[in-house]
Amino acid sequence: MDYLRYLLPSSFLFITGVGVLMGGIAAWLGMLLFPIVAFIEYFLKDDFSVRKMSDAGAVIMLYFQLIPWAFLWYALWVFLGTDYSWLAWVGAVLSTALITAAVGLPIAHELFHRIEGISRFTGNLFAVTLMAGDVELEHRMGHHIETSSILDIDTPFRGESSYAFIPRLLPYFHIASWKMEKKRFVSKGKSHWSLGNRILWAWVAYAILLTFFASTVSLSAALTVLVISLVGQCIICLFSYVQHYGLIRVPNTPIEKRHALNHIRPLSRVLTFEIVTHSQHHTNPTVPYHQLTPYEDVIRPGSAYGYFLMTLIPPLWHKKMRVHLQEWDEKYASEDELVLAKEANAKAGWVA
């Protein structure tokens, strides 16, 4: 049964691909899946079950997702070669960006956190579809080290809206990774303009993707892929916003399970390949998805998809999250963190 759960992400990728292939109003199918999941999970309880899967079986289910992912992008390629309407174009762009980012990128994320070189390569390769083949470095060497502290750009400030957070984080993804790779070459006394530069290869791969769409379809098709990539990166930023908003950690102190928000409704867990079972992922990033532990003694706001949609309405988001963060301050913050939390509350204008 646990293996079959992970056919759900495949089905979302496949349904979205079918909708894009059909064109017309069907191109919006992928967009509809989000509110449907959020609505269903509103009535569901948190899922604390532990997955019973072999390591080999878990890897097979992970790689299996790459088939419907490729199908979705094939569908986009076919769609862009048809005589589509603007309404269908907007639906195809939003659906492809949303499902690639919200369902596909967690697959890439899981792959590039694994120790096998082929998995990390594959994860970065598929992240290229959203111009994100270079973000792994910042994610692993920046976010996972500085998480929830003032040094972590991926952790939103209390009171910061999603619309302010996205333009702050999105360029940082790429700039930080480039600087990290440049520093690696400088430490070896070599030029970073080298064939060994992983960030350059990520950009070359993206250039090849754009060239493919431009040469086999049209220049406007390549520009559409660029739009999808930018929208998809904004969605990635929003998921980081949802999972770390307002949390506090004193820099250079141990990362503990209280330093992540967990959205462990059953559909959220499966569709994101357990990344929303977020606490253990940060205390031990090498634990594979099927072994992550859904904790009870952490902040558990609710559906990842419901809260994602809520980020689009800042007043509603802040109202809900103030309650969760007040609980975090009272139950989980250390003395030093509580001092920082009170300062953050004051800056956000949350002082009673």
pTM higher than 0.85: yes
Contacting residues for 184 by C-beta, under 8 A, at least 6 apart? 192
| CA 319 – CA 307 distance, rounded (Å) | 12
State the chain's mean pLDDT as an integer: 93
Would you state the pLDDT for residue 344?
Answer: 96
Q: What is the mean pLDDT of the segment spanning 313-332?
A: 96
Span 143-182, pLDDT tens digits: 999 999 999 999 999 999 999 999 999 999 899 999 988 8
Contacting residues for 284 by C-beta, under 8 A, at least 6 apart? none
Distances (CA, A) of 109 to 22, 67, 79, 127, 171: 30, 17, 27, 8, 19
pLDDT over 80 at 1, yes or no? no
**First-residue to last-residue Cα distance in the chain:** 49
Would you state the pLDDT for residue 54?
Answer: 94
DSSP string spanning 255-296? Answer: P-GGGS-----HHHHHHTTTTTSHHHHHH-TTS-GGG----S
| CA 337 – CA 343 distance, rounded (Å) | 10
The kind and range of the H/E element at 186 are helix 162-187
Q: Buried (b) or exposed (e) across 146-181, using 16+ Cβ within 10 A? A: bbbbeebbbbbebbbbbeebbeebbebbbebbbebb
| CA 328 – CA 157 distance, rounded (Å) | 15
Span 94-152, pLDDT tens digits: 999 999 999 988 999 999 888 787 888 888 888 899 988 888 888 888 899 999 999 99
Would you state the pLDDT for residue 191?
Answer: 85
Span 26-55, pLDDT tens digits: 999 999 999 999 999 999 999 999 999 999
| CA 303 – CA 42 distance, rounded (Å) | 7
Q: What is the mean pLDDT of the segment spanning 13-38?
A: 96
pLDDT over 80 at 325, yes or no? yes
Q: Buried (b) or exposed (e) across 109-124, using 16+ Cβ within 10 A? A: bbbbbbeeeebbebbb
Would you state the pLDDT for residue 83?
Answer: 94
Query: Which residue matches tokens 């496949």?
Result: 14
Contacting residues for 156 by C-beta, under 8 A, at least 6 apart? 162, 165, 240, 241, 244, 245, 246
Cα 268 to chain centroid distance, Å, stands at 12
